[in-house]
Structures are given as structure tokens and as C-alpha cells.
């Protein structure tokens, strides 16, 4: 897994750690890459190639639990008024690293929608069937 930047950071113990737990870790992005002060990445230790699409359910639970605790600390300790939780999974998603990762981005008063890290365009793709029919279980 040496080609995976996150697996490399974990094995080399070379990140700016926020938390290191048995199944999940959290760290700050490289300086200058953060969207907001306190922006944190939460990843499972176990490698995935399609992110959310092939992660083990237990890993998802532990990653989400850690992300929630970090988000709570952002509000309690950093003065954030909310957080954005971002993920891109699968080759067509625009992801930057082939390993499940959640961006926990604190939001501060005055940030405004212009700094919201979210796709601004809309897909032009159309389905022949109602998505509710296809997605309902």
C-alpha cells in the first residue's frame, strides 16, 4: 500500500495527528491545504480503493464516530458554529486519494456560502427511471 499517501502517513507516523485510534486516525491537512482553521481528515487505518463504496461497515462506524467527536470539539473549542462533512468516493467522484477519507471542515461566523466546499454545478445526466424506485430497499 506504499502508493497510498494516507497509508504511507499512517505507517510512517508522519502526520500532524489529531487522534490515533485502533481502526481510525485523524490528522490536519498539509499547511496551506486547509479549507478553514481546524480542517481535519478522518480515515480508517484499513485501506480502501473506492472509499465509501468498499469500506468495511465496522470501519465506517468507527470513522464516523471519530468524525463526530472531532466536529463536537470544533464547536466547543474552536468556536465553530457548524461543520461540513465532505467525502468523494469512486473514480468518477473527483476524489484526490484512493482511500476512504472524510473532511471535517469547521464553519465560522462570516464564512458565507462562497467558502462552502461543495460542488456548485448541477449534473446534466438524466435517468429513465425515478431514482426513488432504483434506490429504495
Q: What domains are there in the chain, each with its CATH number?
A: 5-117 (3.30.428.10)
Cα 122 to Cα 26: distance, rounded to the nearest angstrom: 31
Options 39, 99, 101, 103, the catalytic residue: 101
Per-position DSSP letters for 57-75, written without gaps between them: HHHHHHHHHHHHHHHHHHH
Report whether pLDDT(1) > 50. no
Q: Give yes or no for residue 119 having a pLDDT over 70.
A: no
Distance CA 126, CA 62 (A): 35
What pLDDT score does 118 carry?
65
Other Cβ atoms less than 10 A from the Cβ of 26: the count is: 23
Average pLDDT of the residues in 87-107: 89
Query: 31: helix, coil or strand?
Result: coil
What global pTM score does this model have? 0.86
Active site residue 99: no
Amino acid at each position: 500500500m506504499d502508493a497510498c499517501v494516507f497509508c504511507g502517513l499512517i505507517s510512517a507516523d508522519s502526520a500532524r495527528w489529531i487522534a490515533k485510534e485502533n481502526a481510525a486516525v485523524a490528522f490536519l491537512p498539509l499547511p496551506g491545504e486547509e479549507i478553514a482553521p481546524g480542517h481535519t481528515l478522518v480515515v480508517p487505518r484499513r485501506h480502501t480503493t473506492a472509499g465509501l463504496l468498499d469500506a468495511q461497515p465496522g470501519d465506517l462506524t468507527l470513522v464516523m464516530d471519530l468524525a463526530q467527536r472531532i466536529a463536537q470539539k470544533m464547536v466547543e473549542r474552536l468556536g465553530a458554529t457548524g461543520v461540513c462533512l465532505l467525502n468523494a468516493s469512486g473514480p468518477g467522484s473527483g476524489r484526490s486519494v484512493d482511500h476512504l477519507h472524510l473532511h471535517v471542515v469547521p464553519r465560522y461566523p462570516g464564512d458565507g456560502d462562497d467558502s462552502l466546499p461543495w460542488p456548485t454545478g448541477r449534473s446534466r445526466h438524466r435517468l429513465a427511471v425515478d431514482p426513488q424506485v432504483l434506490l429504495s430497499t
